[in-house]
Structure 1
Amino acid sequence: MNIKRLQEIGSYRGMRHRRGLPVRGQHTKNNARTRKGKAVTIANKKK
């Protein structure tokens, strides 16, 4: 499937691609770090 097309039609999968989150139903409460990128520490958020 074409990712750009999924985003244009506003499908769930397209939105997940746009937000950089897992597309295939994985849980994101704890992990999904490869998709989200490196974790930002709480100390860095304050600055």
Structure 2
Amino acid sequence: MLKFSISLQTAVISLAVSCPLLLVAALGSATRFLSDVGCFLFEESSLNFTA
């Protein structure tokens, strides 16, 4: 029973550590994606204005 509770504690700790890291990675990639889309849309609209 003690071994089970230790492994459970380890799993909880690793989840607590990996969740914020995953969240930061997801936010970073989402931000990069949104900025790429924004740049693309801005370039498209500026090309349309000059034409």
Sort the TM-score into its range (normalised by shorter chain).
under 0.3
- Rg: which structure is higher? 2
Considering Cα pairs closer than 8 Å and 6+ residues apart, tell me whether 1 or 2 has the greater RCO. Answer: 1
Q: Which has the higher helix share?
A: 2
TM-score (norm 1): 0.21
